[in-house]
Structure 1
Amino acid sequence: MFPAQWTVRLWLWLTLLSITCGEKLPDIGSCQPRPSCHECIQSHPSCAWCKQLNFVQPGESDLGRCAPWLELEHRGCLPSEIMDPHGQQHILEDRPLSNSTQHQTFTQLSPQRISLQLQPGEEQNFTVRFRRAEGYPVDLYYLMDLSYSMKDDLENIKRLGSDLLAALRDVTTSVKIGFGSFVDKTVLPYVSTAPSKWKKPCPSSGNTCQSPFSYRHVLPLTGNASEFEGRVSQQHISGNMDDAEGGFDAIMQAAVCKEQIGWRNVTKLLVFTSDGAFHTAGDGKLGGVYMPNDGRCHLDANGLYTKSHLYDYPSVAHLAEVLSESNIQPIFAVTGSRLLMYEELSRHIPKSVVGELKEDSSNVVQLIAEAYSSLSSSVNLEHSADLPPGISIAYDSHCGGSETYGRVQGGECLGVRVNELVQFTVRIKATTCLTGPQKLVLRVLGVGEELQVELTTACECQCGDIQPYAEHCSGGHGNLTCGICSCQEGYIGRLCECKQEEVLDPEARCRDVNDTGPVCSGKGHCVCGKCQCNGQASGPLCSCDNTICDRYNGQLCAGNGQCRCGQCECYLNYTGSACECSPDTSGCRQEGTPCSGHGHCVCNRCRCDAGWFGSHCSHCSDCQTPCEEHRDCAECKVFGSGNCSSLCNQTVKVVPAATTNEGWCQTKAKDGSLLIYIIEKDETGTVTLIVSSKEDATTHTVKQVVFWVLGFLAVGIAFILVYHYVMEYLDRREFRRFEKERENAKWNEEDNPLFQGATTTFINPKFNDECNGNRL
């Protein structure tokens, strides 16, 4: 017996399997009738509109013009009269990829401009290609902490300008470097404002020390190494009062002051070196600075940040947004004690890396070279921060031997080599109609190229048949648009055929005699004394429900017919109560023979003859297997029992029972015992039966059960013995360790001079025996 919980689990599993393998659920988002062409094509991607003038039958409303294309075509609408605007795409600019260094032109990203027309609910996709070019230009801005603890680092940086340029010129043909420095906000409690400390904030009197400052832009981007070394050599150390620095203020200004820094539209690296922590948004309140950082450039003519006392430090999110928009890749070169802190920061800033800086910055050139290699080999395709309303986007990445699908943050390929081509499939979908043309920008982070996507939506029908006072509308009583009439004032009806004041008691004609129910059975509208039924009803009084026909695979009339008054009217070549049958017989054929010759094909499924079963009628319920066919002969000739009356011309041999193996027949003899034999057939067709034994079936079963029980017991006993041995070994090892520690103990509790008891006794020196008398 199964336990109760296993019974429940089995039932649930079978239920789930039946749901999974059964009929599909109806598509609740399928095309539904709509009153106008615009509403129709906006409702569902499968919807189309027939503008053919005489398409709608008498008694029907124009709602029936909205339906899937195939249904409209089967109902007689000409393909040229069907409005089915789907999404379109046009590549506007697609320069070929190249890594040419001629005239310093590079094209790593293609295409460059594309226009997409989206139908709501329908997905459009296009391919973006990227090939990493050799020698792509680099701008590197070195941003250094000049607090007193970085004194040794500054001396080394003064001598590394040429080495830094040389290292970058190994990987690119065009490189520029610049320099800036920072300390902290120039208000208490970040720096001391006492006159003596302001002039000389350094703790040591032997160093040349400059007054504190928030951020100073020292050198715009240049390709002159000697100029870099000259300007940096003029810098002096400064100091502040707390451990954290104002590096976020400096990064923000270096990112937004594009003209002062001299950023080009190339790969932009910002090297941030420090051995301290950082202040972030909210810390400025300690110094009375509470206004949020405005993200604008505030450098004076000398390159000093002049608003540090007015604007708070930027937040991590604000900084990440500005760096991403400016396409700047930060390299945080920090000392080992701050490594974990900046690694956590790097997780929130796209396309940033962290490297461990030696205490004197002696490894900064190697660190920058390794960081640049890591950044440039990572290709991240992303879109602009804010998507237009109703637009969703997903990326499929094709990176050589690896594929990733459906990432909404962006596409990513790692370890991309120079001149290696990677591709991304961008899938865009609109859920609503856009108010107007929208622009979406895609770019590879760290690369100064972008793809501009112009987005529009196909939400309007361009039927081309607009006719004011159209003859089709009862001789000019209405305007014709997309096959339907908009009546002039005073006229009603689908074709504007009635004057409103001339229709007397029209609702009386839209009910059965003595019927007090709703007009048109509640499934239509009474116009000019006639019922105009909605898309789910038909008949003179809309009494026929066109939604109760048989379904197949979750679709009404299997999608191969129309529901009319509860009955499916099948399209050509389709039959069945749900129009589920087609002339196709491929599902019935196996090896070219329909239903294996033992049945007939109905609705592309086999109906088997009596005695046969299976999906292709290939199995017989009354047929004997070869083992059963030769059972009587083998039993009769060897053991003299069973049915010896049947003709037995086979040669029979007897072998020992120990020689049997897989492939032997094991059938029940007439007396219920187990008969074991094998059938051999030579090239001439002669059959030989090789019989092994006949044994009681119960005995055979008991042997198998005993074998499995003994095997299980043996495994259990072996496990117990192993467990006992392991526990015994561990206990003995622990006891030996305890004995060894006790022998090595040099003091006991009584002799140990450091031992202190748990209780202490104090005696009052004023105490005497007289206090115990009546004097107390």
Structure 2
Amino acid sequence: MVVKLLYLWLLFCLNWAQEQRCLQSASSCDECIQAGSGCAWCNSPQAHIRCATTEKLRSTGCHGRHLYNPSGSIQVVKNYSGADPADDEALNLHPQEVTLHLRPGVSESFPLTISKATDHPTQEPIMDLSNVPAGVHVTFSSITKGNPQLLQVSVEAAQCPSKSGISNQNTTGPWSIRITPRGFSVSLRLEITLLCECNCTGSHEENSPDCSGHGTLVCGQCECYVPYFGKQCQMNGDSISPQYEDLCRRGPNAPVCSGRGTCVEGFCECNRRADPKETYSGRYCECSNFDCPRHNNRLCGGNGRCECGRCLCDSEWIHSACSCSMETASCLAKNQMLCNGRGVCECGKCDCIPPYVGATCEECPDCVDDCQDHAACVERFEPEQKRTRENRYLSRTSFLLRC
């Protein structure tokens, strides 16, 4: 039962993290599907949330016809059952040509059969690869041995290439890859294309009614013509009423939308940051999730989240930058007392009361032990005359008791 609950909790955390990653990359359909393999885009002009998991978008009312969530595909193009007489040799591959469409982060697999001539020695084939683009990984695993031998070929792309590269460079394919068993001339041809762009990106509806006739509808979003703006291009920048701007100020002399957004019909539309993880929020765009105290060069010490300029610390962490740990295990002395009872445990460290020192206040270089403490007292009360060894022992014992 405990294991099951733990599994469900981990699954919930993974889904939550995926949703957050999708929501933070909602500026365009292309950026959305590149944010993660579980991210989908809603093309509906009425959508309030556009980039999220498929389950999340469906729960917000986005119908299936408006959902775009590309998935990879495999197509066998050429798979001759027999050997080509012109290329007859001791080994054949099936299939001979495969087309792959890959969504980055998702592996696609297909079987590859290796047939050898009966008089050819059976050995583990070593596969040579050619023209594999950066970021694409091809792996092989044996399913059955013998003759014929069955392998599983798995192909995965780590991520979509950055658009900051060479403009005329083929960044998403198709690419042609050859898989050739070492020592032979026969090969398997793979044609790979990355799914990094939405199929709606190339579809533009000029003067769209969904954009009030003042913009182009692309993937459910309006690209407004100047001087119009707003979610549906409903606002004319040349005729903004000052009364609307007053509704977008925190005070009489405060900047519109705190200088971080645009006032649209009395409501602030906050600006987007270059980093999609950094956002402005609030009625007047007065809040941010990145302008908080740092510790060890990490926002909220890496132990909390930033909300409206304040760190909300995780459990077991306190202080303005979530820099102080509340755990006490590191303060336990050998006697299982916090800081040996000679100090205070703060932020996981002991603040010792002098003259005690050390990680758990168990060291005291200047302290006097019991023998040294009582020796002076014994010498002060012992008579100077000579005594027998027995009398001297009894005398010292009585003085120690007095001391």
Q: TM-score, normalised by structure 1?
A: 0.30
Which aligned pairs between 1:423-438 and structure 2 lie closer than 5 A?
423-433=151-161, 434-438=171-175
Query: Which is higher, the Rg of structure 1 or of structure 2?
Result: 1
Which aligned pairs between 1:234-253 and structure 2 lie closer than 5 A?
none
Match of 2:97 among 109, 113, 116: 113
Match of 1:132 among 112, 116, 120: 116
Q: Are 1:396 and 2:141 counterparts? A: yes
Deviation at 1:117, TM superposition (A): 1.1
Q: Distance in 2 between matches of 1:425 and 1:392?
A: 10
In the other structure, the counterpart of 2:28 is 36
Aligned pair count reads: 264
What amino acid maps onto 1:381 in structure 2? M
CA offset digits 1:663-699 (Å, max 9, x no partner)? xxxxxxxxxxxxxxxxxxxxxxxxxxxxxxxxxxxxx
8 Å contact from structure 1 (residues 47, 68) kept in 2? yes
CA offset digits 1:500-555 (Å, max 9, x no partner)? 12115565322334584782696x65345422357978775468999xxxxxxxxx
Task: Give the secondary-structure state (helix, strand or coil) at the position aligned to 2:47.
Answer: coil
Which aligned pairs between 1:640-719 and structure 2 lie closer than 5 A?
none
Q: Are 1:379 and 2:125 counterparts? A: yes
Q: Distance in 1 between matches of 2:159 and 2:177?
A: 16
Q: Distance in 1 between matches of 2:238 and 2:140?
A: 61
Deviation at 1:459, TM superposition (A): 1.8
CA offset digits 1:230-262 (Å, max 9, x no partner)? xxxxxxxxxxxxxxxxxxxxxxxxxxxxxxxxx
Match of 2:198 among 428, 436, 461: 461
In the other structure, the counterpart of 1:123 is 107
In the other structure, the counterpart of 1:439 is 176
CA offset digits 1:59-111 (Å, max 9, x no partner)? xxxxx311111100000000111111122221111122x57999957762111
Q: Are 1:51 and 2:43 counterparts? A: yes
What amino acid maps onto 1:69 in structure 2? T
Q: Structure 1 residues 103, 473: closer, same or farther in 2, change over 3 A?
A: closer
8 Å contact from structure 1 (residues 520, 542) kept in 2? yes
Structure showing the higher helix proportion among its residues: 1
Q: Structure 1 residues 544, 119: closer, same or farther in 2, change over 3 A?
A: same
In the other structure, the counterpart of 2:79 is 94
Q: Structure 1 residues 392, 101: closer, same or farther in 2, change over 3 A?
A: closer
Q: Structure 1 residues 472, 453: closer, same or farther in 2, change over 3 A?
A: same
What amino acid maps onto 2:210 in structure 1? H
In the other structure, the counterpart of 2:353 is none
Q: Which runs of 5+ in 2 are unaligned?
A: 1-5, 162-170, 290-403
Q: Distance in 1 between matches of 2:84 and 2:191?
A: 29
Q: Structure 1 residues 395, 490: closer, same or farther in 2, change over 3 A?
A: same
Aligned-residue sequence identity (percent) comes to: 29
Task: Give the secondary-structure state (helix, strand or coil) at the position aligned to 2:196.
Answer: coil
Task: Give the secondary-structure state (helix, strand or coil) at the position aligned to 2:105.
Answer: coil
Q: Distance in 1 between matches of 2:143 and 2:80?
A: 21
Q: Distance in 1 between matches of 2:84 and 2:110?
A: 26
8 Å contact from structure 1 (residues 391, 429) kept in 2? yes
Deviation at 1:494, TM superposition (A): 1.4
Q: Are 1:508 and 2:246 counterparts? A: yes
8 Å contact from structure 2 (residues 248, 267) kept in 1? yes
Task: Give the secondary-structure state (helix, strand or coil) at the position aligned to 2:160.
Answer: coil
What amino acid maps onto 2:250 in structure 1? D
In the other structure, the counterpart of 1:680 is none
What amino acid maps onto 2:37 in structure 1? P
Which aligned pairs between 1:470-481 and structure 2 lie closer than 5 A?
470-474=208-212, 476-481=213-218
In the other structure, the counterpart of 1:305 is none
CA offset digits 1:152-189 (Å, max 9, x no partner)? xxxxxxxxxxxxxxxxxxx6xxxxxxxxxxxxxxxxxx
**RMSD, aligned α-carbons:** 3.9
Q: Distance in 1 between matches of 2:66 and 2:34?
A: 18
8 Å contact from structure 1 (residues 92, 113) kept in 2? yes
What amino acid maps onto 1:444 in structure 2? P
Q: Distance in 1 between matches of 2:41 and 2:179?
A: 35
Deviation at 1:439, TM superposition (A): 1.0
CA offset digits 1:542-595 (Å, max 9, x no partner)? 68999xxxxxxxxxxxxxxxxxxxxxxxxxxxxxxxxxxxxxxxxxxxxxxxxx
Q: Structure 1 residues 102, 485: closer, same or farther in 2, change over 3 A?
A: closer
Q: Structure 1 residues 67, 427: closer, same or farther in 2, change over 3 A?
A: same
What amino acid maps onto 1:519 in structure 2? C
Q: Distance in 2 between matches of 1:108 and 1:528?
A: 70
Q: Distance in 2 between matches of 1:518 and 1:489?
A: 21
8 Å contact from structure 2 (residues 256, 262) kept in 1? no
Larger CA deviation: 458-467 vs 118-127? 458-467
Deviation at 1:486, TM superposition (A): 0.7
Which aligned pairs between 1:48-447 and structure 2 lie closer than 5 A?
48-56=40-48, 64-96=49-81, 98=82, 104=88, 108-135=92-119, 373=121, 377-384=123-130, 386-400=131-145, 417=146, 419-433=147-161, 434-447=171-184
Q: Which runs of 5+ in 1 are unaligned?
A: 1-18, 57-63, 136-170, 172-372, 401-416, 547-776
Task: Give the secondary-structure state (helix, strand or coil) at the position aligned to 1:472.
Answer: helix
Deviation at 1:487, TM superposition (A): 0.8
Task: Give the secondary-structure state (helix, strand or coil) at the position aligned to 2:250.
Answer: coil
Q: Distance in 2 between matches of 1:102 and 1:117?
A: 31
Q: TM-score, normalised by structure 2?
A: 0.56
Q: Distance in 1 between matches of 2:7 and 2:39?
A: 28
Q: Distance in 2 between matches of 1:103 and 1:456?
A: 29
In the other structure, the counterpart of 2:257 is 519
Q: Distance in 2 between matches of 1:485 and 1:85?
A: 22
Q: Distance in 2 between matches of 1:44 and 1:118?
A: 13
Q: Structure 1 residues 120, 510: closer, same or farther in 2, change over 3 A?
A: farther
Q: Structure 1 residues 110, 71: closer, same or farther in 2, change over 3 A?
A: same
8 Å contact from structure 1 (residues 130, 422) kept in 2? yes
Q: Distance in 2 between matches of 1:27 and 1:124?
A: 24
8 Å contact from structure 1 (residues 48, 68) kept in 2? yes
In the other structure, the counterpart of 1:312 is none
Task: Give the secondary-structure state (helix, strand or coil) at the position aligned to 1:510.
Answer: coil
In the other structure, the counterpart of 1:193 is none
Q: Structure 1 residues 127, 518: closer, same or farther in 2, change over 3 A?
A: farther
Deviation at 1:48, TM superposition (A): 0.9
Q: Distance in 2 between matches of 1:84 and 1:531?
A: 31
